[in-house]
Structure 1
Amino acid sequence: MTKQIRLNAFDMNCVGHIQHGMWAHPRDRSTAYNTLEYWQDLARTAERGLFDGIFLADIVGVYDVYKDSLDPSIAHAVQVPVNDPLLVVPAMAAVTKHIGFGVTCNLTYEPPYLFARRMSTLDHLTRGRIGWNIVTGYLDSAARGMGLTKQIKHDERYDAAEEYMEVVYKLWEGSWEDDAVLRDRERGLYADPGKVHRVQHIGQHYRVDAIHLAEPSPQRTPILYQAGASSRGKDFGAKHAECIFLAGPTKENTRTTVADIRRRATEQGRDPSDILIFLGRAVVVGRTRKEAEEKYEEYNRYASIEGALAHFSSSTGIDFSRYDPDEPLRYEENDAMNSILRAFTVDSSETWTLRKIFGDKGLGSRNAPLVGSAEEIADELQSWVEDTDIDGFNLSRVVTPEGLESFVDLVVPILQERGIYKRDYAEGTLREKLFGAGRSRLAKSHPGASYRALDQARSIAPAAE
């Protein structure tokens, strides 16, 4: 059976996201990111293209490693200023019916008790279309903003994340029984207290003694996204994630990473088909190759290499202003995103330099966009899926909104004609749209599903006790 390609529109509640400098293009509208209209127009266009979701990235902190300064990031709008991603979701949900919303939230700096309620609220308001991208952060600037001297060590962050997941699973899955809410007007009984249970958790990082504040939402646990590509991150994703995002620079690297993730999922006792893997890419498409190349050259005149280097430096924790442009990159382990640098060094058979990565053609990003006619772009997307076993793509914005509009108008019909892209949305929640009818809840093999059992005496007790 031919695999159906999945698509997310990849965005962020800021001016400059991945392709740095594009905000300065005269037709770009990303400076309107702080208006409801911007997000509602994006949602309408993505739903018109039958996208599975809009995925919203986020960071806490600023990129200040490059040149040991935050000035380049501020000057080039490198993910700063940045607003809260969760607050635009209800506005988009109000003007759409089917498209899902994956939102990045950093668990390091928010207690699970309150976070669980926020996600349940969004799941209610979107009627089951919310997802959570689980991140632990990677910026010392974020830690300083939160009152620490520097961020928690990489593996320690994952230790805390494991416990965090245990707590939110208990809240989402185990606190309220399925039939706890009665809405019995005749007896004046809204919910049965005997079917609402207190979560009692005492761990190394978190202590909770409370019921979940929200009644059961359509999905209970939101769709779980994850993007960690370190060895520890891949273990975490293989255990918890339902969707995983990659940014592999080559098919070789991507193919190896996908196979590794699916192997780890199997070792965790999960069905590897219960994990959808998305590759991050940007696309510049035209009706002909000549039109696409002309558009690409036009866009590239606005690319900010300085912005790209500021982003790359903070992502990897290395000040690349100290590198010669033609100096081969070296792997250096630290508490930032080790997987990014590893992909260009240890895991690659090629020798990468800053000039080779960014050059003068990358649109201010470390991954060059796909450029071509609609047929060529469709060929390339199909090739990546067939050659690497990914399931789809996170399409990051270049010049907005015309980039997404062009893709929807030109590429989507070709994918549909080839039978590798849906012609209509399935009914139901986001989880059902991704995994099939009747799958609103976590799969039985998912570790979070184990917290549904109310005989888990060690963690759940009746609220009335």
Structure 2
Amino acid sequence: MKQIHLGVFEVAGTQVGGTRSWYHERSDSVRNTDLDMWIGMAKILDEAGFDFLFFADGYGYPSKNGDLPEMAARGGINFGGIDPSLLIPTLARETKRLGFVVTSPTGIDHPLQTARRFATLDHLTGGRIGWNIVTGGSGNTVAELFGHTEMMKHDDRYGQADEYVDLALTFWEGCWEDDARVADKELEVFADRSKLHRIEFSGSHFRSSGYFTVPPSPQRTPVLFQAGTSARGREFASRNAEAVFVQYTTGPQTAANVADIRARATAQGRDPQSIVTMVGLSVTVAPTSAEAHRLRAEFDAMQNDEVVSVLYAGNTGIDLLALDPSRDLTQLRDSGSSSLVGQIAQSNIDRFLPTDGTPAPTVREILDDLKGKGTRGLQLVGDPIEVADALEAIMDETDLDGFLIEPLFGTADCEDFATLVVPELRRRGRMPASPATGTLRAQVTGGGAHLAADHPGRRFVVTPAAVTAASV
């Protein structure tokens, strides 16, 4: 029986998932700048046996007609956040085993900066850090904030990202031998110079020559996460990712995407079952089904077309309210009116352009589908038995490995799931009786602290017999 891995998807902002509920009495998400709020959530997850707390992050914001929509500011829709990476050392100190995953893009800074930051976080958390690799988001807003005229095209960004990850792996794996750090006070030797190897990397996008100054951390390389169900995203995941977030559409389609990722991993020489696949999931659970449905109805009443439109525009560059509601998304491609279509959040476009012969939903139907859902994929409402039954059925149908809980009401939802659903999953043998411990990689993959032997990143590992660092 496959065990269920659990994470929680959050942003260090007013609202997760592009919906609006921060002003509900149950929600504490508007306290996103309050460190104690995050400590409280992390402790709940730590004790309940969740694998990690995941922070989405980015510099951008929703945009319509090149500017910030009034609803984005008023409603706090993907707007008003802080840097979550700065929370992590404190949260790690306040917890015992919970891992932390933070998003960092591949198109803004140099890989050296990312490598140094994550190596530091891995040290400070005792090996409980993961990197969610993204190639971009929020349309041109990020490009403009950083002084560029427009963002790089979708598939081109993945090509750059492959090289970005390769260089980061070269820093983590290719400079210090395992025992290069001596730190012997009596011998007055900090590092063995003969076991430090110069990095020489020259690629199409990035170059580097020199030494990585951060000693090897407990995991060396953070656990590599990636989200994206586009064909190019799945290829990237099969090459680099150890955990993949899949966009849930239908059971059969999700199963097909999982199977495709595993098949691509096999083609890369990797164990297909070594990649942990998860989907986002919003759960409204209460002791009784009636109470759960009442809470969900209160949440749904806070949503409207304007909220959906702002969210989707920020996520894909498409303003749904500017389109003909009776037609599907092909109207925008047919008109050639937006160069952004397909350049960001490809999976959130493809999900509404089916390729199996079924009719594509109209814009009106898309608005209705996303209302109350936002970027979340799967929605469950019920009592603990109903929720656990649904989770098991989804796992069995799709070959997924777990779920990324996307709270509607912040900490309250996390506590409800921890106290009501987790005990039921343990009773069924879907979660261990005692939470797993160790590094994040050990908890998520079931392997050791370092990259698996068949991970492509292992080619960058430096050994005494291979003193020349990898280059491309």
Q: SS of the residue aligned with 2:235?
A: helix
Q: CA deviation at 1:459?
A: 3.2
Counterpart amino acid of 1:4? Answer: Q
**Cross-structure match for 1:208:** 208
> Mapping of 1:130-145 within 5 angstroms?
130-138=129-137, 139-145=139-145
> Mapping of 1:173-322 within 5 angstroms?
173-322=173-322
Note if contact 1:249-1:344 (Cα within 8 Å) is conserved in structure 2. Answer: no
Q: SS of the residue aligned with 1:194?
A: helix
Q: TM-score normalised to the size of structure 2? A: 0.93
- In structure 1, C-alpha distance between the alignment counterparts of 2:229 and 2:51, rounded to whole Å: 23
Mark the runs of 5 or more structure 2 residues left unpaired by the alignment: 334-340
**Cross-structure match for 2:469:** 459
CA 290–91 in structure 1, closer or farther in 2 if over 3 Å, else same: same
**Cross-structure match for 2:434:** 424
Counterpart amino acid of 2:313? Answer: S
CA 236–89 in structure 1, closer or farther in 2 if over 3 Å, else same: same
- In structure 1, C-alpha distance between the alignment counterparts of 2:192 and 2:18, rounded to whole Å: 52
Q: CA deviation at 1:374?
A: 0.9
1:340 maps to 2:348: yes
**Cross-structure match for 1:449:** 458
Note if contact 1:66-1:310 (Cα within 8 Å) is conserved in structure 2. Answer: no
Counterpart amino acid of 1:196? Answer: L
**Cross-structure match for 1:412:** 422
> Mapping of 1:98-113 within 5 angstroms?
98-113=97-112
- In structure 2, C-alpha distance between the alignment counterparts of 1:358 and 1:126, rounded to whole Å: 41
- In structure 1, C-alpha distance between the alignment counterparts of 2:329 and 2:370, rounded to whole Å: 19
> Mapping of 1:370-449 within 5 angstroms?
370-436=380-446, 439-449=448-458
Q: SS of the residue aligned with 1:283?
A: strand
- In structure 1, C-alpha distance between the alignment counterparts of 2:185 and 2:268, rounded to whole Å: 46
CA 427–49 in structure 1, closer or farther in 2 if over 3 Å, else same: closer
CA 254–364 in structure 1, closer or farther in 2 if over 3 Å, else same: closer
Counterpart amino acid of 1:10? Answer: F
Q: CA deviation at 1:361?
A: 8.7
CA 164–368 in structure 1, closer or farther in 2 if over 3 Å, else same: closer
Note if contact 2:8-2:54 (Cα within 8 Å) is conserved in structure 1. Answer: yes
**Cross-structure match for 2:338:** none
Q: CA deviation at 1:319?
A: 1.7
- In structure 2, C-alpha distance between the alignment counterparts of 1:305 and 1:239, rounded to whole Å: 38
CA 11–57 in structure 1, closer or farther in 2 if over 3 Å, else same: same
Instruction: Note the alpha carbon deviations across 1:345-389, whole angstroms, 9 max, x for none.
Output: 134645423443443894252546211111101111111110011
Instruction: Note the alpha carbon deviations across 1:103-128, whole angstroms, 9 max, x for none.
Output: 10012101111211110000001000
Q: CA deviation at 1:435?
A: 2.4
Q: CA deviation at 1:297?
A: 1.2
Note if contact 1:132-1:223 (Cα within 8 Å) is conserved in structure 2. Answer: yes
**Cross-structure match for 1:23:** 22
Note if contact 1:23-1:399 (Cα within 8 Å) is conserved in structure 2. Answer: yes
Count of aligned pairs = 459
Note if contact 1:326-1:354 (Cα within 8 Å) is conserved in structure 2. Answer: yes
User: Post-superposition, which runs of at least 4 consecutive aligned residues in structure 1 deviate over 6 A?
Assistant: none
- In structure 2, C-alpha distance between the alignment counterparts of 1:350 and 1:395, rounded to whole Å: 30
- In structure 2, C-alpha distance between the alignment counterparts of 1:362 and 1:175, rounded to whole Å: 49
Name the % identity: 36
Q: TM-score normalised to the size of structure 1? A: 0.94
- In structure 2, C-alpha distance between the alignment counterparts of 1:376 and 1:66, rounded to whole Å: 44
Q: CA deviation at 1:69?
A: 4.5
Tell me which moved more, 327-336 or 315-324: 327-336
**Cross-structure match for 2:336:** none
Instruction: Note the alpha carbon deviations across 1:109-167, whole angstroms, 9 max, x for none.
Output: 01111211110000001000000000110321100111100001112211111111111
